[in-house]
Amino acid sequence: MKILHVDPEAGFGGGERQVLGLVRHLARRGFENLLGAAPGSALSSTLPAGDAEFLPLAIRNHLDVRAALALSRWISERAPDVVHFHTSRAHAMSLFLPGSAARSLVTRRMDYALRRGWRTRLLYNRRVAAVAAISEEVRRQLLAAGVEAGRVRVIHSGVEVPDALPGPAGRAAARSRFGANGEIVIAVVAALERRKGQDVLLEALSRVRRERSRFLCLLSGDGSERAALEARAANLGLDASVRFLGYRPQVADLLAAADVFVMPSRKEGLGVAILEAMAMALPVVASAVGGIPESVEDGRSGILVPPDDPEALAAAFVHLARGPEEARAMGRRGRERVLTHFTMAGMAGRYADLYESMSSCLTARDRR
């Protein structure tokens, strides 16, 4: 089958990592991939030539008719079996593509509530044949907005699981690179935006008074809240125990150095960074929001806390610090859970099944 993937985003976030992994695994399965992406984007420059053919497609906004015409031309010339929209901006182009709805699908990654109304019904019930939700929570939001249940299928995001974990020497080297000297290292990988809740994390660390010197918190990511978060950390007296690392395209060394992974989000579709940490056998402390409870089993692979609750977050840190054996057991169970439910290969297989079912429906309809 030939699949046209559409992702016009310039940055390289969790969604783009999912697209890259999906394309790679589909290519291994014998699928022919086309990728419509912005010229010069991180995704287009990262894509191996053997996995997909790159099609330059810049989409400026949801009403970019010029981009829609270019996309329509690609569809006419290349005749893909399926058009897969990976972002809302890409999905908006479906309104300008007459005749393509039966072979189109969209992946919905965000757990924000959709506005009910004619536009949502048109986009999700008429302009695509299927909607892939990355979690049950995202599915619930779609149904609440009036999307037909029969069109929605849950396909959890996936990650690549390393064959082996770093041994004592590898962990020691990683910890040395970050200046860890006996502290319990807390890793955070997330954009520095309010929805990710790093402000709650700082408040939690300020409450771990007697044991504060035992923690070193490493925050990977950048965003609009960075200056405010750095100022807040200084005001709370956390300069010695919190470090802002900025955006890091690779976080394997950070995860190798960590003892605990934290995701204090206020909103989260599923949390790919959580899955990556679990794949490295790290116990997780996270907010019980969005799709996170579908990946982290409270008390087994981590500890779930209410959002916006620094006291609960602080208590979870102290609990894991005082029970290192329990923390390591949580990490092992988390890795096993990812291997069973959240691999990139498994995700690609579920998308392949969806593509095949869409193609079969088209064939059956053509025969009639």
Q: How does pLDDT run across 63-81, given as a tens digit for each residue?
A: 888 999 999 999 999 999 9
| pLDDT on residue 213 | 62
Mean per-residue pLDDT over the chain, rounded: 93
Q: What are 93's two structure tokens?
A: 């182009």
Tell me the one-letter amino acid at 311: E
249 confidence band (pLDDT: 50, 70, 90): confident
Fold of the 168-341 domain: Rossmann fold (3.40.50)
Question: What is the separation of C-alpha 282 from the centre of its chain, rounded to a whole number of angstroms?
Answer: 17
- How many CA atoms, within 13 angstroms, populate the side-chain half-sphere of residue 52? 27
267 confidence band (pLDDT: 50, 70, 90): very high
Fold of the 2-158+344-367 domain: Rossmann fold (3.40.50)
99 confidence band (pLDDT: 50, 70, 90): confident
Q: What are 357's two structure tokens?
A: 């079912």
Q: How does pLDDT run across 276-310, given as a tens digit for each residue?
A: 999 999 999 999 999 999 999 999 999 999 999 99
Query: Of how many residues is the chain composed?
Result: 368
Q: What are phi and psi of 261, to 5 degrees?
A: -115, 140
Structure letter (DSSP) for residue 162: P
Q: How does pLDDT run across 321-355, given as a tens digit for each residue?
A: 999 999 999 999 999 999 999 999 999 999 999 99
| pLDDT on residue 198 | 98
Could you give the CA distance from residue 204 to residue 183 in angstroms, rounded to a whole number?
Answer: 17
User: Within 10 Å of residue 20's Cβ, how many Cβ atoms?
Assistant: 22
| pLDDT on residue 289 | 96
**Do 168-341 and 2-158+344-367 fall under one CATH topology?**
yes
Could you give the CA distance from residue 111 to residue 123 in angstroms, rounded to a whole number?
Answer: 17
Q: What is the 3-state secondary structure (H, E, C) of 62-125?
A: CCCHHHHHHHHHHHHHHCCCEEEECCHHHHHHHHHCCCCHHHEEEEECCCCCCCCCHHHHHHHH
Q: Cα–Cα–Cα angle for 98, 99, 102, nearest 5°?
A: 125
What are the residue ranges spanned by the domains of the chain? 2-158+344-367, 168-341
Percentage, residues of the chain above pLDDT 70 = 97
